[in-house]
Structure formats: C-alpha cells, structure tokens
Structure 1
Amino acid sequence: MSADLAAAGAHLAALGLSPGSSGNLSVRDGDRLLITPTGADLASLDPERLSVLDECGRHVAGPAPSKEFPLHLAFYRRDPATKAVVHLHSRHAAATACLPPWSRRSAIPPLTPYFLMRVGQTPLIEYAAPGDGAQAAALERLGFPFRAALLQNHGPIVAGPSIRAAVDAAVEVEEVCALLLLLGDREPRLLTAAEISDLTGRYGMPWDL
C-alpha cells in the first residue's frame, strides 16, 4: 500500500499537478492512516518514510505528517468506503477555487460526462489557513454526499475507494477546471438533468439536482 501511494505521487508530479513540495496523499490501511510527510516532494516519496497516524489522527510512526492531515481524516470519517485522499495545488483547480461557486453544492458545473462519472458534485469549502482544523470540521459536517471539494483560494481535495480512483478523480477535476477557465465568459452548454441523472446513476457518483 505504501508503494502504491509513492507511485501515485510520482504520477501526479509527472503530470505537473504537484508543483514544488505542494500536495499530500494518504491511504487507509486498516485502522492506520499512511500520509505523506510535511514538506514532502510527491515526485520522490520513499515508501519506507511515510507518516503513520492512528484512526484518531495521533502520530504513531514515521516523520511528521502533512499539516493538512485533518482534511484527510474528515473524508475518512464521512465515508467508511473512502480508502484514499488526494490534495493538490493543481493550477486550474486552484484558480477555479478563487472564483464564486457555480452552486451551493458544486463549485464546478456539470460540464463534461467524465466529471460526473469520476467525481460528481464538488462543493467549495470556505477559506481557512492551511492546516486549520476548522476547515476540516466544515468539510466533515456538510450534510450532503460528495467525494471531492475545492478549498477556497487553495486547491482541490478528492477522496476515493482506492488510490487509483482518487488520483483519476483529481486529474479529472483539474481537466474540467481547465475547460471551465478556457470557456471564460462564454455560456457553455451544460449537461441536462436527464443526462446528469443517467451518468451519476450508472457510475454511483453524488449529484443533487
């Protein structure tokens, strides 16, 4: 599992989605959480040098964890099916996080089928300084389902049933945000309610019409 996390970090870095030492990843391993250390470069993670937290977020082994670990814990507590969390500072998603949200439940509109198939509704979480536990609490207490969010003026965070699914969803968030910004002020055709219902129903992704 630690090797999979390191490989995911290298993949995201190779795609240019993790500039510098930004971003952090985690996986659930039984009652433990493996998470990237503070200041880690996702391009060169050492599977033997990951931070280990218990299910309450206590640091039990390895180097000091990323200060964003409360956000990861919030996703794991929201849904027992979550096995991995990816947080990035990818350029287009971070830019979209600086804009007004499309709706209360999704900062990103239903622009492409793959966004609905791999991600679903993606709320904007109000700004807080990185590592602020209040932001994690705000994410955790939202009363509707979601597997991804944009952190205001910060970037995307995505959860999934596997590290591969979380990585694929994080890439899709970046792609749909790039398209959204490319469209600029033009009025795009959004997917219809029937098209949304068909896709999210078939792929089990959350979307409240």
Structure 2
Amino acid sequence: MWHDIAKFGKMLVNHGLVESHFGNISIRAGSRMLITRTGSALDEIDENSVVEVDIDKPSSIDAIASSESIVHRAIYKNTRALAVIHAHPAFAVIESLLAAEDMIAPLDIEGQHFLNDIPVIRGESGTDELAKNAAEALKDHRGVIVFSHGTFATGMNLEEAYVVTTLIEHSCKLRYYYELAKKQAVV
C-alpha cells in the first residue's frame, strides 16, 4: 500500500499541490490507517516513510506519524472515507483568505457538479478543533479548505481523494482569476 501513497505523493508535488515536506496522505485498512510519517518528503516516499496506527486510539507510534493524524482519525471515524489527502494548494489557501463566508462556491461547471460548495473551516494544525471541524464538514462534502492552511480531500481510494484535491485547486484558481479580471474590467 505504501506504493500507492508514494505514487500520489509524487503527483501532488509534481503538480504543485504541495511542497515536498508538507502535507500528508493516509489509507484506511480496517480499524487501522497507513499514514505518512511526520516530515516525510511526499515525492520521496518509501516503505520507511509510512507508519500504521490505530484509528480508534492514539499510541506511541503517533510521535512519528504525521502531526495531522488526529484529523485523519476523526475523518475515518465520522465518514465513509477510505483515503485522505491533506495538501497545501496555493489558490485554495488564497481563496480561503479572501472568502467572505465559510463556503466557496465554484464558478466552473466541474466544480459545481462534483464539489458543490467548498467549506472553509478553521482550526490550528493537528488540533482537536481542526479534527472535529474537518470530520463534521466532510460528512456532507468531499473536500474542505482549512483557512490559511490547505485542503483535506477524501475518497474511496487515493485516486478519488487526489481528484478532489485537484478540483478544489482548479475551482479556486478560476475563481481567483475571474475576480481579478472583473476588477481590471472596472478600472
């Protein structure tokens, strides 16, 4: 399974959706999850870059697992997700900073169809607050943007979670350029 995590880690970095040492990826395996280790370079994942931890309770292995393990756990406990990708796409972060509300409405047909509105949630990285807010929002959405931080996307597999990540970034990029063009047209 670490091979799948490595594949999508490389794709995230190559497509500019995350910088090498930021973000994390997990796959649910029954009552356990495989998750990237803290500080792992997502474009250089090998079998030593992934750890297996219990979903229901923290353990001593959490010290080497991603600092966002608490968020991944909450998502798995409260949704049907079997895969989670946490990335830091630039336009999604920018749009979270510009958002006047706690939802971003995609302007493009693909975003409207596959994402509907994108929740903007709050909470510091690796906290109970973020875990609770992400899990709650992901009950009804496929992805969320954490204010000023990045995205959490879910799927039945890593490919689905990756597609949701790319859709969020695409919709946010289009929204950003649309708003910029609209302002320029007024001048």
Could you say which TM-score interval applies, normalised by the shorter chain? 0.7 to 0.9
CA RMSD of aligned residues (A): 2.3
State the one-letter code of the partner of 1:68.
E
SS at 2:47 equivalent = coil
1:84 correspondence with 2:52: no
Aligned to 1:12: 12
1:113 correspondence with 2:109: yes
Normalised by the length of structure 1, the TM-score is 0.78
Q: Distance in 1 between matches of 2:5 and 2:139?
A: 28
Normalised by the length of structure 2, the TM-score is 0.87
Q: Distance in 1 between matches of 2:171 and 2:32?
A: 33
Aligned to 2:40: 40
Aligned to 2:29: 29
1:179 correspondence with 2:178: no
State the one-letter code of the partner of 1:98.
L
Deviation at 1:74, TM superposition (A): 2.0
* CA deviation vs aligned residue, 1:33-67 (integer Å, no higher than 9, x gap): 01111011111011343121112142475971111
Aligned to 2:159: 164
Which segment drifts farther, 69-78 or 167-176?
69-78
Which segment drifts farther, 90-99 or 139-148?
139-148
Aligned to 1:93: 92
Q: Distance in 2 between matches of 1:184 and 1:89?
A: 21
Higher helix residue share: 2
What is the percentage of aligned positions where both structures have the same residue? Answer: 26
Q: Distance in 1 between matches of 2:61 and 2:145?
A: 30
CA contact (8 A) 1:31 1:54 kept: yes
CA contact (8 A) 1:54 1:60 kept: no
Q: Distance in 1 between matches of 2:65 and 2:99?
A: 31
Deviation at 1:147, TM superposition (A): 1.5
Deviation at 1:27, TM superposition (A): 0.6
State the one-letter code of the partner of 2:166.
V
* CA deviation vs aligned residue, 1:163-206 (integer Å, no higher than 9, x gap): 0000011011111111111012539xxxxxxxxxxxxxxxxxxx
CA contact (8 A) 2:31 2:55 kept: yes
**Can you give the 5+ residue segments of structure 1 that lack an aligned partner in the other structure?**
188-209
Q: Distance in 2 between matches of 1:173 and 1:122?
A: 8
* Closer, same or farther: CA 89–142 of 1 in aligned 2, 3 Å: closer
Aligned to 2:64: 64
Deviation at 1:100, TM superposition (A): 2.2
